[in-house]
Each structure stands twice: as structure tokens, then as C-alpha cells.
Amino acid sequence: SYTLYMRSALSRRAVTLHPSPRVLDANSTTAAVSPERFWGSYRPQVYFGMKTRSPKSVVTGLMWMSQILDNDVKLRHTCEQGDGLSSFGWLMHDGVNFGMQQIRDTEFTLTTTFVKRLGGEHGGDWTWRITGRQHSTAPHAPVISLMFYVATDTQGSLQAHIENRTRLSHVTGTSEELGDFKITFKKPTNREEATNKYASYNYLQTLSPGLDQLTDIVKNSLSRRFVFSPSSAEKSLYIAVDTYRPPLQAQKDNRVQSDFVVHQVTVQVPFQIEVLFESGSFHDRPNQLKGSVLTEELTRLKLSYNEKFEKTFGLQNKGFTPAQVRFGKAALSNMLGGMGYFFGQSVVRSPYSEHAIFYPEGALFTAVPSRSFFPRGFLWDEGFHQLLIRKWDPQVTREALAHWLDLISVEGWIPREQILGDEALSKVPSEFVVQHTENANPPTFFLVLEEFLEHLEAHPDAPQFRNSLPFLRRLYPRLQTWFEWYNTTQAGPLPSSYRWRGRDKDTNLFLNAKTLTSGLDDYPRASHPSEDERHVDLYCWMVLASRTMTSMARLLGEPHQEYERTYQTLSNNSLLSELHWSEQLHAFCDYGNHTQAVSLQQEKVVVPPGQMRHQLPVKRLVRSVRKAPKLQYVNALGYVSLFPFLLHVLTPDSQKLEHILKDIQDPARLWTPYGLRSLSRSDPIYMKRNTEHDPPYWRGAIWININYLALRALHHYSSIDGPYQETASDLYQELRTNIINNIYKQYHETGYIWEQYSDSTGRGQGSHPFTGWSALIVLIMAEEY
Ligand code: 6A9
């Protein structure tokens, strides 16, 4: 039938990529075109590993475990909060040439360093240096095993070379993008001197059905039948990779089998080990990148990193202490070291098909919010990430934006959460995998683009200006469709109003149905989701979007009138007030079908005669509504109310600004000694759970992306004439100091940068390390907005 035909055409459209020429040339990340960025630590989900920016890259990595003292096997590989490491993260990472990471396990500290060297046609060489030293006061220095591995991913092959029966001295291999290569495992030495240390060796050479299986394969191959005997007096059993038999299930699985080799070295701390990757096409190599040559190269790279850091952010110059500067470097380095290269397909659902379907295959070069808990791309997080990265390496930002925009559909939709490839998929519970084509997420790329354009306009004679034009031109048709998509699919009930789609269904199971699409998850919105809603944060995102599209069209000499008209309409402060200002609350608000009289109650269960109460299933909490909802402003005060200020929509002379600044500095509302809290302490939903299993998230805690925007706005309003200029300037100073002091203190005390911070104690909470937008602390310290 015609309807069926239309549905299937529409459902195909939902997963059809945008037809305009891609921003990235097909070969843009290859060794031929971008050799210096070919290899990298692009596997943020593992503690230490490298791969190339290609779809089916050969991967290298490290697992480790401590021996002898420990009875249960604690194999470390993928970053897991459950491992309980006291800290881990990059102390330095320049995004291209080198990185140095420190990992504090229970009794010892590992330092994992890589250095790259260009040469030949396949991205050149690299060397790893791993050092281990004891930090506990235990009488015996711990014995640990390092398992270095190499794995192919459906293409290429590896050969293991064994000496003395058990020691895998090197791996040779070949793959499409790498040609021939050799990976050499050097023997461990004492930390400083070059004398070899006693060590035991084991290896595993097997096949794997996928990169998501590597940990399990190693675990299943372990046996405790090996003897470690550093002297004739000491002997102990240790655990090592032995033989591996794939479980029956896996044999039936028809996934392609790929080569997987593991070199295990068991050694007592302190030690130092080097691993060399050498590209077969690199013929005129002056010397091997190892030992003192490596040390010298590393010294040089660190020096230039330090210089560039100071030149870019000027923290020393601003009077920060050396320890604070190191903290700033760690924050930046973790964001750069968290860049991943992913390849795969999203699973999506559109209103036109009953089942979830695959989105086209694609590559994504992106930073990630958290290496342990969500090591994958998130749309609105990425805009914030790139605000920081752009200052360090604008090329990375251009490439990340290009990858994201190349994933846009013909309709103008970009999947919000990018779960690409088996490894990424293995970390996500199935109920969170499907992405809905009707759902948005804040278009934060416009924050990056606006800055980019301002920078260009300020320096029209700089070479960047001309060099950037082709990039912007390719981006432009995609951005046009992106803008249109928001402007139409997220339109609200009144002209020029907007509404987030995709609020939770089953309203009565939650205190307040979530709005994941807005990025602010459980932040309170209208109690009864309906088509009558309008959302003030989305309205403000559209001001930003139309403002940026206007300047971009102008700069490129494209017709800009339509965008400008939208911008003029939306930025009119009286329209904004008409749609969103609540006279009762003296604040900007959402509007919708709403009542404040809601609470979670135990579900009422009638006890059947003859049955005891305690025999019944545990009762759920359900929502009880004491007063019927009606169309009105949603009287919540918090981050959403600040958006007209956060995104510079308010004119500097707006009286509304006065109210906002008052709310900001009021400790009974948003002010805390650690930053601005997400929801007013006086709000009825402040710190309330959403269900018995779902603790408050954006209902009080301090989030750094929004605090960054608040500082940026205070900075903005304090630098233009207006009646609130001075207040803004005072608040700016105080808020900035509070946020810096707290995040630094927490890092110092806990070893981590966190997802959010408690508004009552300042303590870091939620996932960690979280060096996504919380790393914006570097820009806050540098006062770069
Ligand atoms: C659920 C759990 C191993 C929630 O930082 C990413 C996002 C933000 O975009 C959003 O604004 N975070 C914020 O409210 C984290 C979302 C994590 C969802 C993953 C699966 C995996 O368990």
C-alpha cells in the first residue's frame, strides 16, 4: 500500500546520510595524508593502549596484575571505577607526539609513557616506557605482571617470535595500513641503571573473535603453575597466561577470528621496560628510539609541552603555584588523552519503523566525558570539550567537528550518544543503546563555531582566515540542515517557542519525567509532559544557533537574511519575557501543564485475605498528585532559569539581569562556596530522588559546564557598559575563586577530577575520572572565554 511504501521510504530516510560533500576527505586520517596523527592513544577505554585512526586498526595495549601477595586475580585492562585505583590519568599529553600517564594501584605506581617518531610511509615508530615503583610501606616490594598485547581486528596478521621457550621477544606483523612492522619487547632493567632484572616470561598466542573479548581470553587462559625464583632462597608460585581454549559458545559464533598475542613479564618493582614499534617502511632510521635516546627525546618534548602550555594558558604568569599548574596540565592532558577514534554503527529507532535499525557505518574522532564510565562520544559534551581543545590545537577541533557533522542524516539529525563498535557496545546496558531520531541534544557546537568565527573576524589578515574558509564551506550545508532540524522538529506550541522532544513516558512512575535530550536529565520540567510545553533553555540555544548561522552565512557570502530574521525575533527580550518570564517567581521558566503538588509515595497494595503483608512483593514508589495540573509557568529555579544570561541573550540593561544576579548570589538559592548549584535549595524538588532507584542528579549538584558558562557570562556582562557591570565583575571574581579552589582541593585529596561536585560539601561525586567538561577548569584558570 501507499502508506506502507511511504513509511518504509521515511524509515530509510532516517538512516540516510546527508548528501552534501563530506567535510572530511575519505582518506583524511590515513598515514599518507595525516602521518603525524596516525598513531595515538585513541583507545580511551583502556588504561594504556594505542591504535591508528583507521576503521579496523591493529591495536596494542597493556594489562597488569599484582602477584603472590594477592590471592584473587585482579587483572587491570579497561578503565573501571570498580578497580578502585587511587588515581590514574595523563600528567602530560600533547595530543600528537607523546604522553605520560601515572597510574596508582594499591601498592605500586606505574608510569606509562609513549613517544612517537615519524618516518617511512605508515605513520612511523613509537616507543613505550613503563616504569614501576613501590609506594606502599609493605616490607616486600611487590611482584607484578605486565601483559603487553597486540591484536588485529579482522584484517592483518601477527607472528610471535619466541626465545628460550617462554619469552616472546618480538612480534612481526602486517596490515593494510601499517604495511610490515615489528614490535620488540625489551627486558626489564632496574629503574635507573641499564642492568637487567630477574624476570619470568610467559606468552599467549591465540585467536580472538573481537576486541571486546581480549580481557576474557586472558582471564580464561590464566593458571597458577609457574615459579618465580629471583634467588635460590626464594621461590613462589605465580599466575600467568597459559593455554586458551575458546568456550564452545564462541566456536559456534561466526565472528571472524583475529590474531591476538600477549607477552607477559613478571618482575619485582622497581623496574623499567621499553616496547618498540618499528615501521617496516622507515628505512633511514638514525638509531633506535630507546634508552638514552628516548630519555633525551622525552626531555625535549616535555620542555616544549611546558612552554606551549604556559604560552597558551599563562597559569604561572597568573600566579598559580607549581602544583596548581601541574593540575591544569593534568586536566588538559586527560582531555587530549581521552580522544578516541571509533568506528561502527549506531542503533536507531525512528517513528516510521517498528524495529530499531542500523545507522550507516561511520568513524568518529572525539573526546569522551569519562574514560571509565562512558568512554564514547556524547553530542553536547563534545561542544564543551572542543572549547578547551581549540585553544591548544585547533586542528583537533576542526577534525572532531568534521567527524561529528559527517554523521548527520539527510534530515539533519545527529545521534546524541555514539556507541560505535564492539568495544564501545560492550560497555552499555542494552536498554541504553537505541538512539531515537526525534531526539535532540543541545547544539553546543555553535559555542565552538561562534568563537571560531569571532577569532577569524578579529584577524582577517591572518593566514588562518584564508585556510579556514574551505573547512567552513564544507561544514556549512550540514549546519544549515542541522539548524533547520532543530528549528522545525523541536518547535513549540506558539510561534518562536521550542520544546524538547523525548521526555520520559510513564509519568506516574517518576517524581518528574526526565528530559534526557536537554542534557539536564532529571532537572524539573512541567509535571505533566504535553505538547503545550515550551522550554526556555532550548529557546536560548536557538538564539545562539541563529546568531552563529547569521555570522557564518555573512562570512561565507551566503544568504543570511533568514537566519538574521530568526535571530532578530528570538533575541528580542520582550518576546523572550512574554514566553518565559514568570512574574510570580521573578525568573525565566519553562511553561506547561504543571502542578507543584507531587510526591513519591509507596504504591497502595490491597492485602488479599489470608496473606501476610510481608509475603507481598516489595512495594514501589509511585507518584501521587495532590492537585490537578494546569497550564502555567513551571516554577523551578536553577540552571534552566539562567539560560538567557548564560548564552548572552539578555541585553546588558535588562532588569531581568538584576534578578538573575540576585538569585546567583543567594545561598538559599544558587550560591555555594564551591560553585553554582543546579537547582535552588528552596525548590520543592531540590535533592529529591526521582524513583527509589534513581538518586538526584541535576537537582542540586554543581556541574562544571554550566558554571563555565556562568563565568563566561559574568565576564561578558562585566566587560560591557550597563547598570550591572560592577555586580557581575564582583561575582565573577568570587565564583571563579570558589570553583578553582574546590576542584583543585578535590583533585589533591582524591586523585580525580569528577563528574559533579556536592553543593553542601564540595566533594567530588558521580563518575570519575571525569575529564570531559570538568576539565574546562583550565579555561577558567586561564580566564579564556
Ligand atoms: C548510561 C551506563 C557502565 C549524563 O556526560 C555524558 C552525559 C551527559 O551528556 C548528560 O548531560 N552524562 C548527563 O546528564 C552521562 C550519561 C551516561 C549514560 C550512560 C549507561 C553505563 O554503565
Which of 661, 655, 768, 660 has its CA nearest to residue 704? Answer: 768
Q: Is the pLDDT score of 683 beyond 90?
A: yes
Of residues 431 and 146, more confidence is placed in 146
Residue 427 CA: nearest ligand 1 atom is 3
Of residues 622 and 517, more confidence is placed in 517
Question: Average pLDDT of 27-55?
Answer: 97
Of residues 677 and 70, more confidence is placed in 677
Of residues 674 and 252, more confidence is placed in 674
Residue 428 CA: nearest ligand 1 atom is 21
Give the list of residues 6+ apart from residue 469 with CB closer than 8 angstroms, or none: 556
Cα→Cα distances 713→244, 538, 647, 717, Å: 58, 17, 7, 6
Ligand 1 centroid from CA 435, angstroms: 13
List pLDDT tens digits, range 313-328: 999 999 999 999 999 9
Q: Is the pLDDT score of 254 beyond 80?
A: no
- Total length of the chain: 785
Ligand 1 centroid from CA 765, angstroms: 14
Ligand 1 test: best mutation among 374, 381, 640, most atoms within 8 Å of CB? 374
pLDDT given at position 610: 72
Question: What amino acid positions are annotated as catalytic residues?
Answer: 521, 755
730/332 Cα distance (integer angstroms)? 27
Q: Is the pLDDT score of 308 beyond 80?
A: yes
44/61 Cα distance (integer angstroms)? 11
Q: Is the pLDDT score of 166 beyond 90?
A: yes
Residue nearest to ligand 1 atom 21, measured at CA: 428
Residue nearest to ligand 1 atom 11, measured at CA: 519
Out of 69-78, 191-200, 241-250, 763-772, least confident range: 241-250
pLDDT given at position 17: 98
Which of 170, 238, 160 has its CA nearest to residue 198? Answer: 238
Question: Average pLDDT of 251-279?
Answer: 92
Q: Is the pLDDT score of 517 beyond 70?
A: yes
Ligand 1 test: best mutation among 373, 435, 517, most atoms within 8 Å of CB? 373
pLDDT tier at 467 (50, 70, 90 boundaries)?
confident
Q: Is the pLDDT score of 617 beyond 70?
A: no
Ligand 1 centroid from CA 669, angstroms: 26
| Number of Cα atoms under 13 Å in the Cβ half of residue 484 | 12
Residue 370 CA: nearest ligand 1 atom is 5
Ligand 1 centroid from CA 702, angstroms: 16
pLDDT given at position 4: 80
Q: What is the mean pLDDT of the chain?
A: 95
Question: Average pLDDT of 14-27?
Answer: 96
pLDDT given at position 679: 98
Residue nearest to ligand 1 atom 18, measured at CA: 374
Residue nearest to ligand 1 atom 10, measured at CA: 519
pLDDT given at position 614: 64
Q: Is the pLDDT score of 270 beyond 90?
A: yes
| Residue keyed to cell 638514525 | 286
Of residues 215 and 73, more confidence is placed in 215
Chain centroid to CA 247: 34
Ligand 1 centroid from CA 374, angstroms: 7
pLDDT given at position 251: 60
Out of 69-78, 322-331, 628-637, least confident range: 69-78
Ligand 1 test: best mutation among 371, 378, 427, 640, most atoms within 8 Å of CB? 378
pLDDT given at position 492: 98
Out of 35-44, 68-77, 469-478, least confident range: 68-77
List pLDDT tens digits, range 118-136: 999 999 999 999 999 999 8
Residue 697 CA: nearest ligand 1 atom is 14
Predicted complex ipTM: 0.97
Ligand 1 first shell, C-beta below 6 A: 369, 373-374, 378, 380-381, 427-429, 432, 519, 521, 772
Provide, rounded to the nearest whole percent, the portion of the chain with pLDDT above 70: 97
Q: Is the pLDDT score of 70 beyond 70?
A: no
State the amino acid at position 461 in one-letter form: D
Ligand 1 centroid from CA 468, angstroms: 33
Residue nearest to ligand 1 atom 17, measured at CA: 374
Out of 58-72, 417-431, 466-480, least confident range: 58-72
Are 100 and 91 within 8 A, CB to CB? Answer: yes
Residue 773 CA: nearest ligand 1 atom is 5
Residue 772 CA: nearest ligand 1 atom is 5
Residue 379 CA: nearest ligand 1 atom is 9
Ligand 1 centroid from CA 746, angstroms: 21
Residue 770 CA: nearest ligand 1 atom is 5
Question: Average pLDDT of 32-45?
Answer: 98
Q: Is the pLDDT score of 63 beyond 90?
A: yes
| Number of Cα atoms under 13 Å in the Cβ half of residue 98 | 24
Give the helix/strand (H/E) hosting 291: helix 291-313
Residue nearest to ligand 1 atom 16, measured at CA: 374
pLDDT given at position 500: 98
Residue nearest to ligand 1 atom 8, measured at CA: 519
Strand order in the sheet with 271-279: 87-93, 98-104, 108-117, 125-134, 271-279, 179-185, 167-175, 157-163
Residue 519 CA: nearest ligand 1 atom is 11
List pLDDT tens digits, range 710-732: 999 999 999 999 999 999 999 99
Residue nearest to ligand 1 atom 22, measured at CA: 428
Are 105 and 87 within 8 A, CB to CB? Answer: no
Ligand 1 centroid from CA 375, angstroms: 10
Number of helical (H) and strand (E) elements in the chain, helices listed first: 18, 33
List pLDDT tens digits, range 379-427: 999 999 999 999 999 999 999 999 999 999 999 999 999 999 999 999 9
50/97 Cα distance (integer angstroms)? 12
276/172 Cα distance (integer angstroms)? 12
Ligand 1 centroid from CA 783, angstroms: 28
pLDDT tier at 544 (50, 70, 90 boundaries)?
very high
pLDDT given at position 248: 65
Q: Is 203 helix (H, G, I), strand (E, B) or coil?
A: strand
Ligand 1 centroid from CA 603, angstroms: 29
Ligand 1 centroid from CA 686, angstroms: 21
Question: Average pLDDT of 283-294?
Answer: 96
Residue nearest to ligand 1 atom 2, measured at CA: 428
| Number of Cα atoms under 13 Å in the Cβ half of residue 431 | 0
Residue nearest to ligand 1 atom 20, measured at CA: 428
Q: Is the pLDDT score of 193 beyond 70?
A: no
Which of 429, 427, 294, 406 has its CA nearest to residue 360? Answer: 406
Q: Is the pLDDT score of 252 beyond 70?
A: no
Question: Average pLDDT of 158-183?
Answer: 97
State the amino acid at position 407 in one-letter form: L
